[in-house]
């Protein structure tokens, strides 16, 4: 607070980019070896110090930036010597590449497994050590969230009682909400996610908790989602109206896809890399609770918005479940691929499979080129014989996908061709497994494990290639799929 007062002052008719202010703060923290709080918490601090400060997006649509309006750097401040380029370079330097922490934690709320702990106010040292160990397996988060598109009405008339300033306010608040979401997940404080949702969407329980526990000290929940502050900036009545407004619904959908894709890449940056089983289980527990937490938090939100939110969340949870399963299979298969005797047995059993008969039976269903299938068969045997690593197998599998989909690149038919490839791959591999079963192959168990892994990894590869082809994120692609499936649950 003292640093803010020494370097900034209120002034009419001037503004500062929000990112510039935050970069100044990061510079200050690095110089004095302090742990910075996240951008959302820093924004709340600034508004509490400089009362009446407003947030606006300045610039043309598509090239605008968040600004604090009514504040400037003091003429005597040394911050005037810093250029934006220097600030950005400093923010991205190795010495500042540490994960941001929420301003404070909720004592006794969160264990590293994403569920409540019983440790009281003292964090168990073993748990803290495990938490630090888990952090090294997470992806890089130094760049934070990607830029969100502007909330553009695109000519759609504003609802009655809603001003254009309300759209700007919602846009600012939702960005801050997503930044806070990212921070609690990066810090593996999964149990705080439900509180974030409840606070932003004004779930009645958040007000009840505050009324029943007036003596509760300021905590992470308060920092991450201040109901009183939210209500002042955007009343609940207007929030409900905006939830029925199509441009706002589309904006939230787009932001959620970007947020969830970022979270997937942070939690599971490499699906093949070995990670501790405790971290895998924590992520799976998190995924298991997500849909229920969100549905409960949206109980008073209009159905149009709730459906979009739940659809994106389902895709996110499903992606986490699939990727953790894929990672588990990868570690189990790694042991098989490194075992010389098992590889030898697999080769012997594979050479007894009647591939001509398999191709004859599958040809009518799959209608694949015989030469391509034969080449894949020979490549598979050769790769197995060379006792390649899991990473080398992954490269081979991607090559198979690329060869099959190459004729469809740039075509509108690409997504359909990709799905057809998965079906054909699955059908062929099931025919081979059937042949091995009928022959009572000694290596059947190893083949079954490898087949499960390769099927999952093929799905992963195709999902990413389709997303790239259509110009969307994998989570967005899966979100569209779940949105179109009848029976996908929505909150009541």
Domain final residue pick, 281, 314, 336: 336
Counting residues of the chain whose pLDDT is more than 90, the rounded percentage is: 49
What is the C-alpha to C-alpha distance for residues 62 and 398, in angstroms, rounded to an integer?
A: 36
> Radius of gyration over alpha carbons of the chain, in Å?
26
Does residue 327 sit in the same domain as residue 257?
Answer: yes
Q: How do residues 465-474 score in pLDDT, each as one tens digit?
A: 999 999 999 9
Instruction: Specify whether 343 is located in the same domain as 448.
Output: yes
Q: Please report, to the nearest 10 degrees, the dihedral formed by the alpha carbons of residues 459, 462, 468, 472 taken in order.
A: -40
Q: Does residue 48 form part of some domain? A: yes
> Are 304 and 358 in the same domain?
no
Within 10 angstroms of residue 252's Cβ, the number of other Cβ atoms is 20
Same domain, 260 and 356: no
**What are the strands of the beta sheet with 65-73, ordered from one edge?**
8-17, 65-73, 54-58
State whether 183 and 247 are in the same domain.
Answer: yes
Length of the chain: 492
Task: Look up residue 420 and give its two tokens.
Answer: 């057809």
Do residues 97 and 142 make contact, with C-beta atoms less than 8 angstroms apart?
yes
Of 319, 336, 353, the one marking the end of a domain is: 336
Q: pLDDT tens digit string along 38-96? A: 777 787 788 778 877 776 655 544 455 677 778 889 888 888 776 444 443 333 333 33
Lookup result for tokens 């919602």: 170
- Boundaries of domain holding 193: 161-206+226-336
Q: Per the structure, how many domains does the chain have? A: 3
Residue 482: predicted pLDDT: 56
> In terms of domains, do 401 and 318 share one?
no
**Distances in Å between the alpha carbon of 78 and those of 70, 83, 86, 318?**
20, 11, 14, 49
Q: Does residue 329 share a domain with residue 187?
A: yes
pLDDT digits (tens, 9 = 90+) for 132-187: 788 888 998 777 888 899 898 988 999 998 999 999 999 999 999 999 999 999 98
Report the pLDDT value the prediction gives residue 136, as an integer from 0 to 100.
87
Quote the pTM value.
0.73
């Amino acid at each position: 607070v003292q640093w803010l007062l020494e370097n900034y002052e209120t002034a009419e008719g001037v503004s500062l980019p929000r990112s510039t202010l935050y970069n100044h703060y990061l510079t200050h923290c690095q110089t004095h070896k302090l742990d910075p709080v996240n951008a959302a918490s820093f924004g709340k601090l600034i508004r509490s110090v400089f009362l009446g400060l407003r947030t606006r997006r300045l610039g043309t649509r598509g090239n605008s930036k968040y600004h604090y309006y009514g504040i400037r750097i003091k003429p005597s401040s040394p911050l005037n010597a810093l250029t934006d380029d220097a600030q950005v370079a400093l923010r991205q330097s190795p010495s500042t590449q540490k994960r941001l922490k929420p301003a404070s934690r909720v004592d006794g709320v969160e264990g590293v497994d994403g569920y409540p702990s019983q440790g009281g106010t003292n964090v168990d040292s073993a748990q803290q050590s495990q938490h630090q160990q888990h952090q090294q397996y997470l992806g890089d988060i130094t760049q934070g969230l990607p830029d969100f598109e502007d909330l553009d009405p695109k000519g759609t008339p504003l609802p009655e009682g809603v001003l254009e300033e309300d759209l700007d306010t919602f846009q600012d608040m939702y960005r801050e909400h997503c930044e806070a979401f990212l921070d609690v997940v990066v810090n593996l404080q999964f149990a705080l996610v439900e509180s974030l949702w409840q606070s932003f969407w004004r779930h009645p329980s958040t007000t009840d908790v505050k009324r029943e526990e007036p003596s509760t000290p300021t905590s992470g929940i308060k920092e991450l989602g201040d109901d009183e502050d939210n209500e002042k900036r955007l009343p609940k009545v207007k929030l409900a109206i905006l939830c029925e407004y199509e441009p706002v619904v589309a904006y939230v959908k787009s932001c959620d896809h970007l947020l969830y894709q970022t979270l997937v890449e942070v939690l599971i940056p490499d699906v093949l890399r070995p990670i501790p089983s405790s971290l895998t289980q924590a992520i799976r527990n998190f995924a298991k609770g997500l849909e229920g937490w969100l549905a409960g938090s949206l109980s008073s939100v209009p159905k149009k918005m709730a459906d979009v939110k739940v659809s994106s969340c389902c895709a996110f949870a499903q992606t986490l479940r699939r990727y953790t399963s894929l990672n588990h299979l990868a570690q189990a298969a790694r042991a098989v691929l490194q075992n010389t005797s098992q590889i030898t047995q697999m080769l012997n059993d594979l050479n007894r499979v009647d591939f001509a008969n398999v191709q004859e039976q599958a040809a009518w269903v799959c209608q694949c080129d015989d030469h391509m299938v034969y080449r894949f068969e020979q490549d598979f045997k050769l790769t197995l014989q060379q006792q390649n690593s899991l990473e080398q197998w992954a490269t081979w599998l991607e090559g198979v996908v690329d060869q099959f989909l190459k004729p469809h690149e740039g075509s509108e038919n690409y997504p359909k061709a990709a799905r057809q490839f998965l079906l054909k791959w699955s059908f062929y591999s099931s025919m081979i497994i059937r042949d091995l079963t009928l022959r009572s192959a000694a290596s059947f168990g190893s083949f079954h494990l490898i087949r499960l892994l390769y099927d999952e990894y093929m799905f992963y590869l195709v999902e990413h290639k389709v997303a790239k082809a259509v110009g969307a994120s994998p989570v967005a692609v899966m979100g569209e799929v779940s949105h179109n499936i009848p029976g996908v649950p929505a909150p009541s």
